Structure 1
Amino acid sequence: MDPFVVCLWIMLTSCATAWILSLLTGEYSWVDRSWSLVPPVYAWVFAAGAGFDDARLVTIAVLVTLWGARLTFNFARKGGYAPGGEDYRWAVLRGRMSPAGFGLFNLFFITIYQNAILLLIVLPAATAALHAANPFGPADLGLTFAFLLLLVGEGVADQQQWDFHRARGPRGADTAGSPAEGGAARPDVLRTGLFRYSRHPNYFCELGQWWVVFLFGAVAAGSLLQWSGLGALLLTGLFIGSTVFTERISVSRHPGYPAYQRVTSPIVPWFPRAVPRPESVPVRRAL
């Protein structure tokens, strides 16, 4: 059977499973729970379709598997697979929408649209399979290195975020006691490490990895004009929308977040902006 058809059946099964489980459990993070699991399966389906003889397809599959393993670990340690481990943003949305409206949102956006993106981001492997005559070369080695660099970067960002939230304690308190009690003020926003240069460095690295996957297909085809870039493009749009929504919540919960926004790049890492000093008002001396 054609690898794309196999992947399409897997996607439809994933959609049906996530939607049914959301109705049965009242939790809506089932696509989140499969987010790191399904793309490696798609990648290996394409590698298997070439008999595991195509070095480029096997490389893509191995890299996507490493991506999935790291993301699964990070999601699991945050309790994402535990009962009640629903993404807090879905609860916020439920509170703003009617039950019928959220039901449609769950079916078409959370379930179908996100699962479609998970398939689309791997379809550069289909492009690579169509152009298997173009052998694995130096450009592919460069892309492999770039992917691994971004993978490490995302791991570092997630670890810094994990350490920050653990240090704040289970209640997420902003202080560790008053100075009189010997406590030290705890920052309510992570501003150090990679988060000094980007408010979402993990998003940057995540998106970068999937644009690298697209480039594997483009290198095989010998052109950047490939329809299989649609997945990375839609994923980028999804992350931008998610960033806007998440930061609205962060502003309402963390008093220091607006100041952080003013000086730090949203996603693409860049040097912090200087905070303008208030103009001093000259004091007139009495004559």
Structure 2
Amino acid sequence: MALPNISALEDCADFSKAVQPFIPQLYALPAKFLDVIWSREGLLNLYRETNPLISGFAVSLVLGAVFLVVAEINRNYSQVDRCWSLLPTLYIAHFDAWARLTGVPAQRIDLALLFSTIWSIRLTFNYWRKGGYNVGHEDYRWEIVRGYVPKAVFHVFNWTFISFIQSVLLLLIAAPVYTILLASRIDPHVSNADIAYLVIELLLVLVEYISDQQQWVYQAAKKQYLSSGKVSGGFQKADLDRGFITSGLWGYSRHPNFAAEQSIWFILYQWSCFTSKTLYNWAAVGPSFLILLFQGSTWLTELITAGKYSEYPEYQRNVGMFVPKRLAPYKTPVVMPRIIRTSDLAKKLKEKQK
């Protein structure tokens, strides 16, 4: 049996009924996989007979091992980053494919897959144009972290968090779709609320696209300004001298793209709560951990940025990290020139003469 035998929507979000009974399948899966690996038909049957959350979790562990080996061989710790924009959508596609193969209504899962596919396209494109897929590219923050911790400690950090925990996290943020899958067996119909969740998700992806595009345009103008001294792209010289963007969505939030990213996966979790008629459920683990991860990584990013740009602390005081502090956008503080009175000059002259 690959799915729990439940009749109430609330049971779809109950960990003890929807997940726990299938954990033994994870332990038995490697041996079963080896038994059928040479038989194509047997492999498909194994896929159908295995709980989709368990098989997805097994894949995340295997990928974690791959990320670990590749990272250690190349001494490059951005292997998960290269797959970040793809794996959540692939896991949702896995839930969708499993539902179709086993006859579970998949209309709601189709909606989740639609927004996730658009999310993947946007994030993959943005990562590509920033050079993320170039040979040897690595997140600059890993080099900084390596400089502050012993080599052995960093390797343990890679063996745990960077490779395995992040890999599992990419499954967990997509895991609310498993609850939606279970609920679809009882209530297969797409409601207006489901459409509303889809629209909200697409709007959040649009916010990510707009904020990333604004950042891209600013950085391109800044790069040209530093190399040629030419001010372009609708910016003023003071904007480019500042060193970081404060216009558009960035005038209201220091990280509007990060705010939207966290919201996307939290809304997916809320979607699962709606379909299962629960206020909260076990699937909160994924988006909650993601939010904590963003807190830590954004703190490190801002620590580095504040050390590079003198105005950044003022920007931090006036603009929220994720949520806007005020309705008005950020404005660069006006520095008034210091007025020196002639009487003050006379006093200084007398002091020198004494």
Same fold by TM (over 0.5)?
yes
CA contact (8 A) 1:80 1:86 kept: yes
Identity %: 35
Q: What SS class does the counterpart of residue 224 from structure 1 fall into?
A: coil
* TM-score after normalising by structure 1: 0.89
2:10 is aligned to none
Which residue is equivalent to 1:229?
284
Pick closer, same or farther for the CA change 1:174–1:210 going to 2, 3 Å. farther
Shift of 1:109: 1.1
- Cα offset for 1:175? 9.5
Structure exhibiting the larger radius of gyration computed from Cα positions: 2
User: Which residue pairs with 1:176 in the alignment?
Assistant: 229
Confirm whether residue 116 of structure 1 aligns to residue 171 of structure 2.
no
Distance 1:193 1:273, change over 3 A: closer
Check 1:77–1:56 CA distance in 2 against 1; reply closer, same or farther (3 A cut): same
The match for 1:48 is: 97
Displacement, 1:84? 2.3
**Larger helix percent:** 2
Q: Does 1:245 align with 2:300?
A: yes
CA contact (8 A) 1:4 1:126 kept: yes
Residue 36 (1) aligns with residue 85 (2): yes
With over 3 angstroms needed to count, the CA separation of the structure-2 counterparts of 1:58 and 1:177, relative to structure 1, is: closer
Does 2:71 align with 1:22? yes
* Matching residue within 229, 250, 257 for 1:195: 250
Matched, 1:59 2:59: no
Question: For the structure 1 residues 53 and 195, does the alpha-carbon distance in structure 2 shift closer, same or farther, using more than 3 Å as the test?
Answer: same
Whether the aligned pair in 2 keeps the contact of 1:189 and 1:256 (CA below 8 Å) is no
* In 2, Cα distance between equivalents of 1:233 and 1:193: 28
Would you identify which runs of 4 or more consecutive aligned residues in structure 1 move more than 2 Å?
172-178, 269-278
1:1-287 pair list within 5 angstroms: 1-51=50-100, 53-132=105-184, 133-134=186-187, 135-169=189-223, 173=226, 176=229, 184-185=237-238, 186=240, 187-271=242-326, 272=329
Judge conservation of contact 1:39–1:119 (CA < 8 Å) in 2.
yes
Instruction: Spell out, residue by residue over 1:149-174, the C-alpha distance to the aligned partner (whole angstroms, 9 max, x if none).
Output: 0000000000111111111117x949
Where does the alignment leave 5 or more consecutive residues of structure 2 unmatched? Answer: 1-49, 336-354
C-alpha displacement of 1:274: 8.7
- 1-structure distance, mates of 2:333, 2:77: 43
* Alpha-carbon separation, structure 2, partners of 1:107 and 1:235: 19
Note the residue ranges of structure 1 that are not aligned, 5 or more in a row: 279-287
Contact 1:174 1:188 in 2 (8 A): no
Q: Deviations over 1:91-128 (max 9, x none)?
A: 00000111101101111111111112111101101111
Distance 1:111 1:175 in 2: 41
Query: Do the aligned partners of 1:175 and 1:184 also contact (CA within 8 Å) in 2?
Result: no
Cα distance, 1:270 vs structure 2: 4.0
| 1:274–1:40 distance in 2 versus 1, CA, 3 Å | closer
Contact 1:42 1:119 in 2 (8 A): yes
TM-score, normalised relative to structure 2? 0.73
**Superposition RMSD on alpha carbons, in Å?**
2.7
TM-aligned CA deviation for residue 277 of structure 1: 9.9
Which SS does the other structure have where 1:169 is aligned? helix
Which moved further from structure 2: 100-109 or 129-138? 129-138
Distance 2:95 2:325 in 1: 37
Conserved 8 A contact 2:112-2:177: yes
User: Do the aligned residues in 2 keep the contact of 1:15 with 1:112 (CA within 8 Å)?
Assistant: yes
Q: CA deviation at 1:9?
A: 2.3
Check the 8 A contact 2:315/2:330 in 1, yes or no: no
CA distance in 2 between counterparts of 1:49 and 1:220 reads: 19
Query: C-alpha deviations, 1:124-159, integer Å up to 9, x for none?
Result: 011111211223211111111100100000000001
Distance 1:125 1:265 in 2: 31
